A and B are shown apart, each in its own frame.
Chain A
Amino acid sequence: MTATLFKTVLRDQLRRPWLTLLMVLSVALGVAVVVSVDLANQSATRAFKLSTDAVVGKATHQILGGSRGIDEGVYRDLRVKRGNRFTAPIVEGYGSAKELGNQTMHVLGVDLFAEPPFRTYLTANTQVSLDAFAAFLTQPNTVLLSADTAARFGLKVGDQITLVTGTQERPVTLVGLLRSPNDISSRALEGLLLTDIATAQELFGMVGKLSRIDLIATPAEAQQIAATLPGNLRLAPASEQADTVTQLTAAFQLNLTAFSLLALAVGMFLIYNTTLFSVMQRRRVLGILRCIGVTGREIFAMILLEAALAGALGGAIGLGLGILLGRLTVGLVTQTINDLYFSVTVRGVDVDTLSLVKGMLLGIGAAASAAALPAYEAARVPAITVLQRSDLETRVRRWLPAATLGGIGAIVVGAALLGLVETSVAVSFAGIFIALLGVTMGVPALTVAFMRFATATLGRVGLVGRMAARTVTQALSRTSVAIAALMVAVSVVIGVTVMIASLRATVENWLSQTLVADVYITLPLQDPIAAAAMDPALAEKVRAVTGVSSVDLVHYSTAHSQEFGDVRLTAVTSVRNRLLKASNVNDAAARLQNGAVLVSEPFANRHRVQPGDRITLATDRGAQAFPVVGIYYDYSSDQGLVLMSLDTYRRYWDDQSISAIAAYTAPGANQNQIEDAIRVALGGACGGPSRPSATLSHPYPSERNERGSSRFAMSVGLPSAQVRNPGSEPGSGPGAGGDCAPVVVQSNKALRDSALVIFDRTFAITLALRLIAVVVAFIGVLGALMALQLERTRELGTLRATGMTLPQLWRLTLLESGLMGATAGLLSIPTGVLLSAVLIYVINLRSFGWTIFFEPAPEVYAQALAVSILAALLAAVYPMLRLGRLQVTDALREE
């Protein structure tokens, strides 16, 4: 391309600032959404990885224990008797403190003398003073905290912090601050509370026990050590933990990314439309260029370059917007990850260069690929026909059958991808994109059909009505693209809204059927690592309260399976409120008593486990195979759960504790009074001996998050989600205080409401994405209408000159726009319904493994139609204002 041709590219963009702006804006919005989601995902993942790396340190392996942790003797044996110097004992768990804004902190109990080869918190790099060292070593209940975290909460050395762990509420003293020489290691320390191992053992009720033993060992050494471990312990590579966490959120993050890409895809329609319009507008100029010797390839390159330039500019703006938006998104993503998966402290958006480069390339790529068709269109037309104005529209109509057939083909391919490939969520999303593309290819033909109908109907109203419908058909190359863009955006809104409404209805229904007890008694902080437990004697106290007719007990734990990794285990006294999938609940209850287990639907889907299979778990009695007798519906964990009777659990694990109590009241009893009576009965009660869980990688923690609300952890009908409702404040009950964290007593309704609050928060981010998709589509319709008007300036001038009044022209514009909106809205309903069905029956099932019952939402369809028409009518406002300024004489001169 010559320098002069390049100048035409640049100046063309400057001469059509509105079109360029539309193009830039659509790329910017699309890129912003993609980048913000990517940054949020990356930030959360990196923050977790940093803290995991900080906690794991240089360890190559970890010894992980059975249900009750590792006996200290194992460590002593390893280090002293066998001389393995590179070993370090760890006791860890989660805790929170008001002084730290109720943020969940990772409490790590270490042995200072064993630490140096493993972790660098206490080296010269972190600049911990000698005084702090001395205090840390000699005084009980002392902690170290990162200087950044301390500064954030206005804490200084010597301050007291009231630390709440699963069963304890204990004051500890901040004796030193960990300062990191650089930002990365500083962020690794974020959310970490370092304490002496003995203090940690007391905090988590693990005196004489360890959570794990870290090792630095060659594979051969590791093999040797593994061979000598007691039966209930295992040696695992240190990387296992980080891998498990990555897998946990993979589906969630992929879903978010796919939705963000959809916003960019909608933006691409707009770019296509804008480019096509710019080609149409410059058809004669392009014709001249072809006549004076510019080749088709050069024209193609010119138009592609134009789009790429707009894409680059939009991309750059999108990156900035994305970083800003990322600050909001990272909060939402972190919130969801904290609600559903694991605890992570993300201080801010990590502006990752790779994310920015990806965003920029996506922007340029999206713009260039969206412009490719119009560019090809301009390039392949023989020079002679470039000079003929209506050629494109003629050919668009000629291509209608082929485009429609192609569309049907794309739908079939998309459906095949959705149906044939069973496991990959990414491929399923590709299927959705291809099928959506297929539907959009059918839009021109459907638009023609709609307009035929509209001509017949509106023709009765008058000439303006007929003209409006015909204009939409005559400018099909642009109107159909605007309609397709709006249709895709609105159908995505319908699809996602119906999917979320269905999931919400399903969860609500599930909650109402499984949360059947009247009062729930849970721990203030469910610890994913040092899973706290309450004294079983509390159950008797609850049972003794007047008005309580019966109680169910629940116990949460994690057990290791060679086949499935760490398995979340729920042990219950009753399965009466479980919703079983295709099995009889009474049969299942009977068989559970005999040692069988149920698996949750996500577990069954994820691990392809069927009734009749057996699950082998490491127990305190060695490996034990449990027959699976049924699958039950559960929406609390997408990782899946294994349910067994509490008796069975106690038979194989040396653990008598419980995690929660569900109390049933007698018919007609006063709920509030009973609730209060239970509080009084349990006054100040806290857990009994707590019990360490098997490994760090507990897939489903349910502790209070940093905003003080609860997690969506409602496993098997006895949720551990806690919202502190008035009167259930830990510490507020009689007898509260000291070293004891009181249990939380709350009503069925409070628990159910809190679960739904978390549900709604989880989907807040999709609401933002839906809105952006509609905004982009709105801009698309506006662009198409403006393009139509600019191109028809002469025609409009003629109409004015021949006596059409301004209000008549306004009516014409409104009608054209309204027809486009109505067509998009009508087409979006069946597309949206199909999309929601695919999201429900394919994407959700494959991503999270749960069945959602389709909930038809007629009000959503009506709203969608209204939104489409309204968006289109609003988009007509600016073109109408332009009409008011139209100078008839100038318009007639327009060439």
Chain B
Amino acid sequence: MASNGPKEKFIRFENVTKQFQEGERQRIVLSQLSASIDAGEFVAMVGRSGSGKSTLLNLLAGLDQPTAGEIWIGDTRVSALNDRDRTLFRRDHIGFVFQFFILIPTLTVRENVLLTAELSGWSARDARAQAQRLLDAVGLLDRANVFPDKLSGGEQQRVAMARALCADPPVILADEPTGNLDADTGAQVLDLLTRLARERGKTLLLVTHSPDVAALADRTLRLDHGKLVPPSSPEFPQRNLEELRGTQGNLRLR
């Protein structure tokens, strides 16, 4: 693994370009993106469908490789790793929350959660204890032994969050985690996710279509046609975060 990258910014991508071959022609999905995210920062990524949000998330997670440019997470140049090393890196450093809260149907709720810790080499006892704590935190301890098909959508997404956090990765990537939930459930899930991430000092990058959700973040990155829209641009959504916050710091979504 490369180990002489920048220290001050935890996630950094420089001139990242991603192209896909579509028949005879190349389609540029991301073009020359450069940005950085501090450790512990909560960043929302917004943009229209097809703007390249999920592609960027996949690149940061090491699920895919950029056509050009570099991606650093901590001291590791993720873009230089091969598939296996990226997987091993992801195992220890990235927690993933998907829109469709896909859990492993053949594992119980507890097993779904502790799987990531087990993969990271935690002892069975430690993994179990960690899963126990997180299930308690997401309010599902009493459902620990049931299989995912017995859970509601919101419950499943809470399990997915616990799973993302179980191996204690420094980075949480969430791809529209509330996109498939009703507004109330979505708000609860989001509240939980941001709280857990902040409590544990995680760097959270969250893809969303919702400006309201984006408003909760410390910072927003906007993608448009594969390019980052500068914050100074008139197209950049300006919202008063304060007005979205409740009196006790809880979220209120409109």
Which A residues are closer than 8 A to B by beta carbons?
A: 2-5, 7-8, 11-12, 15, 284-285, 287-297, 382-384, 895
Which B residues are closer than 8 A to A by beta carbons?
A: 58, 61, 63-64, 83-84, 87-88, 90-92, 94, 96, 98, 100, 102-107, 111, 114-116, 118-120, 124, 163, 167
A sample of 8 more A-B contacts (CB under 8 A), given A2-B118, A895-B100, is A4-B114, A7-B111, A285-B104, A291-B61, A293-B92, A294-B91, A295-B87, A383-B64
Contact of B92 with A4 in the complex, beta carbons under 8 Å: no
- Sample of 19 A–B contacts (CB below 8 Å): A2-B115, A3-B118, A4-B118, A11-B107, A12-B106, A285-B102, A287-B102, A288-B102, A291-B61, A291-B98, A292-B116, A292-B119, A293-B88, A294-B119, A295-B87, A296-B83, A382-B63, A383-B64, A384-B64
Name the A residues within 8 Å of B88 (CB-CB): 293, 295
- In the complex, which of the residues A4, A295, A382 contacts B107, with contact meaning CB atoms closer than 8 Å? A4
Contact of A8 with B116 in the complex, beta carbons under 8 Å: no
Contact of B118 with A289 in the complex, beta carbons under 8 Å: no
The docked-state distance in angstroms from the alpha carbon of A12 to that of B98 is 22
Contact of B87 with A288 in the complex, beta carbons under 8 Å: no
Contact of A295 with B120 in the complex, beta carbons under 8 Å: no
- In the complex, which of the residues B84, B102, B103 contacts A296, with contact meaning CB atoms closer than 8 Å? B84
Identity of the chain B residue whose Cβ is nearest the Cβ of A289 in the assembled complex = B104
Q: Is the interface of A mostly helix, strand, loop or mixed?
A: helix
Contacts A4-B107, A382-B63, A382-B64 hold; do A293 and B116 have CB atoms under 8 A apart?
Answer: yes
CB distance from A549 to the nearest CB of B (A): 85
Name the A residues within 8 Å of B64 (CB-CB): 382-384
CB distance from A305 to the nearest CB of B (A): 14
Identity of the chain B residue whose Cβ is nearest the Cβ of A11 in the assembled complex = B106
Q: Closest 3 A-B residue pairs measured CB to CB? A: A293-B91, A11-B106, A2-B118
CB distance from B82 to the nearest CB of A (A): 11
- In the complex, which of the residues A15, A291, A295 contacts B84, with contact meaning CB atoms closer than 8 Å? A295
Name the B residues within 8 Å of A2 (CB-CB): 115, 118-119
CB distance from B57 to the nearest CB of A (A): 10
- In the complex, which of the residues A289, A383, A895 contacts B63, with contact meaning CB atoms closer than 8 Å? A383
- In the complex, which of the residues B61, B90, B103, B124 contacts A3, with contact meaning CB atoms closer than 8 Å? B124
Contact of B87 with A294 in the complex, beta carbons under 8 Å: yes
Identity of the chain A residue whose Cβ is nearest the Cβ of B62 in the assembled complex = A383
Contacts A284-B102, A293-B90 hold; do A8 and B120 have CB atoms under 8 A apart?
Answer: no
- In the complex, which of the residues A3, A288, A296, A384 contacts B104, with contact meaning CB atoms closer than 8 Å? A288
The docked-state distance in angstroms from the alpha carbon of A294 to that of B119 is 7
Query: Which of A2, A5, A15 has the most chain B CB within a 10 Å cutoff?
Result: A2
The docked-state distance in angstroms from the alpha carbon of A291 to that of B84 is 12
Name the B residues within 8 Å of A287 (CB-CB): 102
Name the B residues within 8 Å of A294 (CB-CB): 87, 91, 119
The docked-state distance in angstroms from the alpha carbon of A294 to that of B96 is 13
Identity of the chain A residue whose Cβ is nearest the Cβ of B103 in the assembled complex = A288
Contact of B115 with A292 in the complex, beta carbons under 8 Å: yes
Contact of A4 with B115 in the complex, beta carbons under 8 Å: yes
Name the A residues within 8 Å of B90 (CB-CB): 291-293
Name the A residues within 8 Å of B124 (CB-CB): 3
The docked-state distance in angstroms from the alpha carbon of A368 to that of B61 is 32
Name the B residues within 8 Å of A284 (CB-CB): 100, 102
Identity of the chain A residue whose Cβ is nearest the Cβ of B91 in the assembled complex = A293
The docked-state distance in angstroms from the alpha carbon of A524 to that of B57 is 90
Name the A residues within 8 Å of B102 (CB-CB): 284-285, 287-288
A-B residue pair count with CB separations less than 8 angstroms: 80
Name the A residues within 8 Å of B115 (CB-CB): 2, 4-5, 292
Name the B residues within 8 Å of A297 (CB-CB): 84
Contact of B58 with A4 in the complex, beta carbons under 8 Å: no
Contact of A7 with B107 in the complex, beta carbons under 8 Å: yes
Query: Which of B100, B119, B124, B163 has the most chain A CB within a 10 Å cutoff?
Result: B119
Identity of the chain A residue whose Cβ is nearest the Cβ of B124 in the assembled complex = A3
Identity of the chain A residue whose Cβ is nearest the Cβ of B61 in the assembled complex = A291
Contact of B63 with A384 in the complex, beta carbons under 8 Å: yes
Name the A residues within 8 Å of B105 (CB-CB): 15, 285
CB distance from A398 to the nearest CB of B (A): 12
The docked-state distance in angstroms from the alpha carbon of A15 to that of B106 is 8
Name the A residues within 8 Å of B114 (CB-CB): 4
Contacts A7-B106, A15-B106, A288-B104 hold; do A296 and B87 have CB atoms under 8 A apart?
Answer: yes
Name the B residues within 8 Å of A7 (CB-CB): 106-107, 111
The docked-state distance in angstroms from the alpha carbon of A8 to that of B104 is 8
CB distance from A829 to the nearest CB of B (A): 39
CB distance from A891 to the nearest CB of B (A): 16
CB distance from B52 to the nearest CB of A (A): 14
The docked-state distance in angstroms from the alpha carbon of A288 to that of B103 is 8
Name the A residues within 8 Å of B106 (CB-CB): 7-8, 11-12, 15
Identity of the chain B residue whose Cβ is nearest the Cβ of A8 in the assembled complex = B106
- In the complex, which of the residues B98, B104, B111, B120 contacts A293, with contact meaning CB atoms closer than 8 Å? B120
Contact of A290 with B118 in the complex, beta carbons under 8 Å: no
- In the complex, which of the residues B58, B61, B107 contacts A8, with contact meaning CB atoms closer than 8 Å? B107
Identity of the chain B residue whose Cβ is nearest the Cβ of A290 in the assembled complex = B87
CB distance from B198 to the nearest CB of A (A): 22
Identity of the chain A residue whose Cβ is nearest the Cβ of B58 in the assembled complex = A384
Name the A residues within 8 Å of B94 (CB-CB): 293
The docked-state distance in angstroms from the alpha carbon of A5 to that of B115 is 8
The docked-state distance in angstroms from the alpha carbon of A291 to that of B83 is 11
Identity of the chain B residue whose Cβ is nearest the Cβ of A10 in the assembled complex = B106
CB distance from A281 to the nearest CB of B (A): 11
The docked-state distance in angstroms from the alpha carbon of A171 to that of B124 is 81
Identity of the chain B residue whose Cβ is nearest the Cβ of A386 in the assembled complex = B63
Contact of A382 with B119 in the complex, beta carbons under 8 Å: no
CB distance from A18 to the nearest CB of B (A): 16
The docked-state distance in angstroms from the alpha carbon of A288 to that of B111 is 14
Name the A residues within 8 Å of B104 (CB-CB): 8, 285, 288-289
CB distance from B30 to the nearest CB of A (A): 14
Query: Which of A5, A15, A287, A383 has the most chain B CB within a 10 Å cutoff?
Result: A383
- In the complex, which of the residues B83, B116, B120, B163 contacts A382, with contact meaning CB atoms closer than 8 Å? B83
Name the A residues within 8 Å of B83 (CB-CB): 296, 382-383
Contacts A285-B105, A384-B64 hold; do A293 and B87 have CB atoms under 8 A apart?
Answer: yes
Identity of the chain A residue whose Cβ is nearest the Cβ of B107 in the assembled complex = A8
Contact of A291 with B119 in the complex, beta carbons under 8 Å: no
Name the A residues within 8 Å of B92 (CB-CB): 293
The docked-state distance in angstroms from the alpha carbon of A287 to that of B115 is 15
Identity of the chain B residue whose Cβ is nearest the Cβ of A285 in the assembled complex = B104
Identity of the chain A residue whose Cβ is nearest the Cβ of B94 in the assembled complex = A293
Name the A residues within 8 Å of B98 (CB-CB): 288, 291
The docked-state distance in angstroms from the alpha carbon of A470 to that of B163 is 41
CB distance from B164 to the nearest CB of A (A): 8
- In the complex, which of the residues B96, B107, B118 contacts A291, with contact meaning CB atoms closer than 8 Å? B96
CB distance from B33 to the nearest CB of A (A): 17
Contact of A292 with B96 in the complex, beta carbons under 8 Å: yes
The docked-state distance in angstroms from the alpha carbon of A384 to that of B120 is 20
Query: Which of A4, A7, A284 has the most chain B CB within a 10 Å cutoff?
Result: A4
The docked-state distance in angstroms from the alpha carbon of A293 to that of B83 is 11
Identity of the chain A residue whose Cβ is nearest the Cβ of B92 in the assembled complex = A293
Name the B residues within 8 Å of A296 (CB-CB): 83-84, 87
The docked-state distance in angstroms from the alpha carbon of A15 to that of B102 is 17
Name the B residues within 8 Å of A8 (CB-CB): 104, 106-107
Contacts A2-B119, A7-B111, A8-B106 hold; do A291 and B63 have CB atoms under 8 A apart?
Answer: yes
The docked-state distance in angstroms from the alpha carbon of A179 to that of B49 is 89
CB distance from B41 to the nearest CB of A (A): 22
The docked-state distance in angstroms from the alpha carbon of A830 to that of B189 is 63
The docked-state distance in angstroms from the alpha carbon of A895 to that of B105 is 13
CB distance from B73 to the nearest CB of A (A): 14
Name the B residues within 8 Å of A285 (CB-CB): 102, 104-105
CB distance from A132 to the nearest CB of B (A): 69
The docked-state distance in angstroms from the alpha carbon of A7 to that of B84 is 23
The docked-state distance in angstroms from the alpha carbon of A127 to that of B243 is 107
CB distance from B175 to the nearest CB of A (A): 10
The docked-state distance in angstroms from the alpha carbon of A288 to that of B94 is 13
The docked-state distance in angstroms from the alpha carbon of A292 to that of B102 is 11
Contacts A285-B102, A293-B116 hold; do A383 and B111 have CB atoms under 8 A apart?
Answer: no
